[in-house]
Chain A
Amino acid sequence: MSNTNGNGLPKIGFYVCHCGHNIASMVDVEEVQKFASTLPGVKISRDYKYMCSDPGQELIQKDIKELGLNRIVVASCSPLLHEHTFRVAAEKAGLNPYYFHMVNIRENVSWVHTDKSSATQKAKALTRAAIQRVFFHKPLEKKSVPVNPDVLIVGGGIAGITAALTIANAGKHVYLVEREPTIGGHMAMFDKTFPTLDCAACILTPKMSAVKSHPNITMWTYSEVEKVSGFVGNYKVNIKRKPRYVIEELCVGCMECIDACIYKEAKYPDEFNQKLSKRKPIYIPFPQATPQVVLFDPETCIDFKSHRCKKTCIEACDREAIDLKQVPEYKEINVGTVILTTGFKPYDAELSPQYGYGKYPNVYTSLEIERLVNASGPTSGEVVTKDGNKPKSVGIIHCVGSRDQKAHKWCSKVCCMYSLKLAHLIKEHTGAEVYNFYIDMRTPGKGYDEFYEKIMTEGVHFVRGRVSEVTDWALVPEEENKLTIRVEDTLIGVVRRVPVDMVVLAVGLEPRADAGDIRRMFNISCSNEGWFLERHPKLAPVSTFTDGIFIAGGCQGPKDIPDSVAQAGAAAAEVLSLICAGSIELEPNTASIIEKFCSGCKSCIPICPYSAISFNDGTQKAVINEALCKGCGTCVAACPSGSIIQNLFEDEQIFSEIDGLLKFADIELEEMEAEHA
């Protein structure tokens, strides 16, 4: 152990943290401290109640100065939380921060074990391994890279719109990419918003127009991200713009082509109206669609199917905006940061067959009712059953797909509130008796519980019980030709059969079906449920584990409009903070090639997940771009000639660490044998 690594013989300072009772209740901290003091190279060994506190850090700094320490090991919590803290502390005392190493004896030891003596043994073993490891640590320098000030936002719902406007108003350029032909997302489909009952379109459409006309926003609708490469501050993104068969710059949205279509009647299910109405093969999703540009559906347009249409649409367009030969357009952009606002998907009500959705025509989902009550919806705002009559009684079933082990375990958070809103709107439109069947009413939020009270006083029925089934068989005459809801009124303790004309299923929110693909493309994580995972549930709610990628809105978990907007603002602030800093420091744990050993076999090149390795034809050796390297170690393990080394994970550091662990195992074995003897 004569390696001096640039700053003399190792003089190690070891510090073990109690973390209040978090560690000390399961690990004999004093024993660990005493044990460390006996190890070679250890100059000082201490234990302290909170190492991360200011006095704890000062302890280390004082020792570095007074005792001339040149290696620091702290045994405490996860490096994710405090590695940065201690590195900074060491640096302030004049030590290169990479002479510091952290042992996690909280998440890896005290929190996961139940036997104190074994936990202490494990903590000692990890301590010995870390102390042996720092012998071989070297000083490293961080590299800094500039941040491209352009921003990509994926998803043009209310969260994406808010973030885009905030960033664009700060003078930065935003690319807003939306998959659908219009921005607006789910909010554009809603009629009113709770608890204020203001019209969703009235508050949303001004923002949509602002996005369209903002000089700092490039809005690409009907487009999808195909590929992402690079790293924080310097992402390269490939985007596919799907053909609308209409030249966006020429179309003014006069819709004369739609009138001229040879289909005189609309024939195909209108997606925006939840398939409750019909549209033509050439259409605009809804009156305030942004951009106001028509598009063709090649699945249903005769000309795409048979090439034998009279093309009356083309004749009708005097701006010559229709181009039936349009092909996808591919864009490549460079951005420094990304915000994902890809939203959610409503639960598929057919997966809960006991409620009869898809079987009985008068069973609707909540989103369908939103369209039904909307003036621009399929019935121009008339709430009617499929046979055209106003319902006399309507049952709203809460928690469809939520709080259910067979569907989703989570509470979807917004359904209680939107059910109250729909109850109000349905009663207002039809005067029907409206029943809410709920498990628990969840109305926390500003003005929310007051809204609940308002709806109660309007005379809406509230029956506490989860509906077991919706059926069409009648037991008594009043149930003939009705849908019967069977439920236990749990507050009374009696089973009831409630016949209604219309059933509304308050479907929950779930991750989009392709959330997994997006996750992989942007190299972020998902929770078990499939929501995009935030870096920290409380303290970093819009950050991800990949630097420079942020999340906001329904893609992160169920939330209502105010929460989505708040998150979008937070994500915009995070992005602006990076852009304003101008540059960011990269961790120096990158890999590099020892040229003289490299045989030029190229096996490292295809396996690098960050495309950081290239081949130098002149020298016939591999070259690693340090700015692209994320320090994953894949190439290091794969190199057949052992010619790739990685900072902070050099062979001798790792082997010495393992040796430390194994030595401990040897001691344990000896002790056991001695006991048996």
Chain B
Amino acid sequence: MKYIYYPGCSLKSTGKLYEESLLAVFDALDIKYEELNDWNCCGATAYMAVDEKKAFVLAARNIALAEEQLKDEAEVNIVAPCSACYMILLKTQKFLEENPEDMAVIKAALKESGLDYKAKAKIRHPLDVFLNDIGEQEIAKRITKPLKGIRVASYYGCQTVRPYSTFDDQRNPVTMDRLFKAAGAEIVDWSMKTRCCGASLTGTIQEVALPLSYIILHEAKKRRADVVTTACSLCQFNLECYQTNIDKKFKTDTKIDVIYFTQLLGLALGLEPKKLGINRLFAQPENLFRIIEGGKPVYV
């Protein structure tokens, strides 16, 4: 089976390291994929705030493009690693399915651009693919550098499992925990997994956003986590890059490694840190390197 990889805007910029690590892990697990040709922005949260129908057509165009690109495959699976993209694509499908009139408008508009929106593609999150298509056992077999002794606090952020996804529990998701358990890590039990980090406000209303990130980082430290793993480029950026600002504001020390779950998985699979975009992190996760035998810190 072949997947369509829909990166979305942020995996090409702030989330570059997410893309690098994801694709490296895909290769390591023999997952075949093609990047979606000439994809456009999913519309994200901001577009929905201005014009709903256009937001839906933006997302629908990508789905239609994927259906076209994989027209010879039995089923079309779109992997959307960015949680906003993932949520918007799911939301679009659900909304159009429930509103045939809007579906007709969107279909007709796409038809004029030579695209056929069949609404059949499956929207998948990489976690869903890893756990349900590959499986924990298969992944465990390929782990060459077990995460022994590493306490992982898995953090999904808000839009990965809320409100439309069905691959995990919306209140207490566990797929990431299962993944890292398979990789030999210790799992931190905490209630921050889906608490909003405030990323969509950090750029705009920072006074509101910083406390939200502080709560999450503070709690991770309190629970003696070695690393926080995220599945969202906004969360990762927000929780990692604002640590200095947070510490200044709250007069605390929240320094903790916040990396993509694909980066940690990649390290466990024995991949080169550089291939996983580790060099693009603000601070090198030296803690992890010390524990993962053989890994060497890579500085910029």
Contacts and interface: CB of A to CB of B under 8 A. Distances in A.
Interface of A: 353-354, 469, 471-473, 475
Contact of B192 (A354, A473, A475): A473
Contacts of A472: 191
A475 B215 contact: yes
B132 interface: no
A353 B192 contact: no
Interface of B: 169, 171-172, 190-192, 215, 219, 222
Given A471-B191, A473-B191, A473-B192, A353 B215 contact: no
A469 B169 CA distance: 16
A469 B171 CA distance: 10
**Secondary structure of the A contact surface, majority rule:** mixed
Contacts of A471: 191
Contact of A353 (B171, B190, B219, B222): B171
By Cβ-Cβ distance, the 4 closest A-B pairs, closest first, are: A471-B191, A473-B219, A353-B171, A353-B172
A309 B215 CA distance: 56
A354 B215 CA distance: 18
14 contacts: A353-B169, A353-B171, A353-B172, A354-B171, A469-B191, A471-B191, A472-B191, A473-B190, A473-B191, A473-B192, A473-B215, A473-B219, A473-B222, A475-B215
A473 B214 CA distance: 13
B212 to A, nearest CB: 11
B120 to A, nearest CB: 29
A66 B190 CA distance: 86
A471 B215 CA distance: 13
Contacts of B222: 473
Nearest to B216: A473
A353 B222 CA distance: 22
Contacts of A473: 190-192, 215, 219, 222
B187 to A, nearest CB: 14
Contacts of B219: 473
Nearest to B191: A471
Nearest to B172: A353
Nearest to B211: A475
A354 B172 CA distance: 9
Contacts of A475: 215
Contacts of B215: 473, 475
A471 B219 CA distance: 12
B188 to A, nearest CB: 12
B158 to A, nearest CB: 14
A475 B222 CA distance: 12
Contacts of A354: 171
A200 B192 CA distance: 43
B197 to A, nearest CB: 15
Given A353-B169, A475-B215, 11 more contacts: A353-B172, A354-B171, A469-B191, A471-B191, A472-B191, A473-B190, A473-B191, A473-B192, A473-B215, A473-B219, A473-B222
A206 B190 CA distance: 50
Contacts of B171: 353-354
Nearest to A470: B191
Contacts of A469: 191
A469 B172 CA distance: 12
A96 B190 CA distance: 76
Contacts of B192: 473
A490 to B, nearest CB: 22
Nearest to A352: B171
Nearest to B190: A473
A197 B171 CA distance: 39
Contacts of B190: 473
Nearest to B219: A473
B123 to A, nearest CB: 23
B218 to A, nearest CB: 9
A353 to B, nearest CB: 5
A471 B191 CA distance: 7
A30 B222 CA distance: 81
A471 B172 CA distance: 13
A475 B172 CA distance: 20
B272 to A, nearest CB: 37
A642 B59 CA distance: 61
A571 B110 CA distance: 65
A67 B189 CA distance: 86
A164 B132 CA distance: 55
Contacts of B172: 353
A472 B219 CA distance: 10
A472 B190 CA distance: 9
A471 B169 CA distance: 18
A397 to B, nearest CB: 16
Contacts of A353: 169, 171-172
Nearest to A354: B171
B288 to A, nearest CB: 25
A354 B171 CA distance: 7
A206 to B, nearest CB: 46
Nearest to A475: B215
A187 B16 CA distance: 63
A475 B192 CA distance: 13
Nearest to A473: B219
A608 B192 CA distance: 59
Contacts of B191: 469, 471-473
A5 to B, nearest CB: 53
Nearest to B169: A353
B211 to A, nearest CB: 9
A38 B177 CA distance: 78
A602 B190 CA distance: 66
Which of B171, B191, B219 gathers the greatest number of chain A CB atoms within 10 Å? Answer: B191
A469 B170 CA distance: 14
Nearest to A469: B191
A475 B252 CA distance: 13
A475 B214 CA distance: 10
B171 to A, nearest CB: 5
Q: Which of A354, A471, A473, A475 has the most CB of B within 10 A?
A: A473
A469 to B, nearest CB: 8
Contacts of B169: 353
A473 B192 CA distance: 9
Nearest to A471: B191
A475 B250 CA distance: 12
A293 to B, nearest CB: 44
A354 B222 CA distance: 21
A130 B165 CA distance: 54
A322 B125 CA distance: 61
A354 B170 CA distance: 11
B285 to A, nearest CB: 24
